[in-house]
Amino acid sequence: MSDVLVRNSTLDLGDLTVRDVNRALKAAEDGAFTVTNPNGVHALACGLMQPISVTIKGHAGYYCAGMNQNADVLIEGNAGTGVAENMMSGRVRVTGDCSQSAAATAHGGLLVIEGDASARCGISLKGADIVVGGSVGHMSAFMAQAGRMVVLGDAGEALGDSIYEARLYVRGRVASLGADCIEKEMREEHIAEVKALLDQAGMDADPASFKRYGSARQLYTFKIDNIDAY
């Protein structure tokens, strides 16, 4: 069955199971595919390792495009918890809003969210890039170790709590900064970095209007004087 599905550019979840669709997409070595009638199903288009293009016509559930590697996934709607979770490379784009933990532990690639992202966007980020056209919720970039996040809107409370070396850029208001996260100087190289990420995401904003946030590097090793911050 999977060989028949791979040759078909449209995969209808009204007729097929999620397992059928995922099996077909993982078996494809190239090509463009459209998934119709997703109706918020979970774990759709996960673990893709080939440079294929996948367009999901509607809302996706939990962990859509998780563990992505090389694929270009477009979600024309909203996405549930953990979109692009543990992504290694490739591109994932959401035209709507995302629930919590978008791009959790993602090592590489680019996640673009045209709308808002909920709590813990970029939690434990390990090297991927995230561009959010709207705002992000509380504790976004919590324990983010590497990578970059650009937010065109506002950020909720405790941004960058316990952050390591990830770089955060926010254009709007930040409700509060988390432990060991501070505002940093926005130099010319950072403006250029934001511009490049905005260009990749296809978003229009003045890169000089962003503020940069990162680690104060006070929590790297345990210090008894900082016990209240742990």
H-type helices in the chain, by residue range?
Answer: 2-6, 18-27, 188-201
Residues 6+ apart with CB under 8 A from 30: 50, 51, 52
- Of the pLDDT bands very low, low, confident and very high (cuts 50, 70, 90), residue 1 is very low
Exposure b/e, 132-159, CB count within 10 A at least 16 = b: bbbbbbbbbbbbbbebbbbbbbbbbebb
The answer, as to whether pTM is greater than 0.85, is: yes
Q: For residue range 50-70, what is the model confidence (pLDDT) as tens digits?
A: 999 999 999 999 999 999 999
Q: For residue range 119-172, what is the model confidence (pLDDT) as tens digits?
A: 999 999 999 999 999 999 999 999 999 999 999 999 999 999 999 999 999 999
Domains of the chain by residue range = 1-70, 100-230
Any idea what the Cα angle at residue 60 is, between residues 29 and 17, rounded to 5°?
Answer: 60
- C-beta of residue 175 within 8 angstroms of C-beta of residue 157: yes
CA dihedral 125, 55, 77, 155 (to 10 degrees): 20
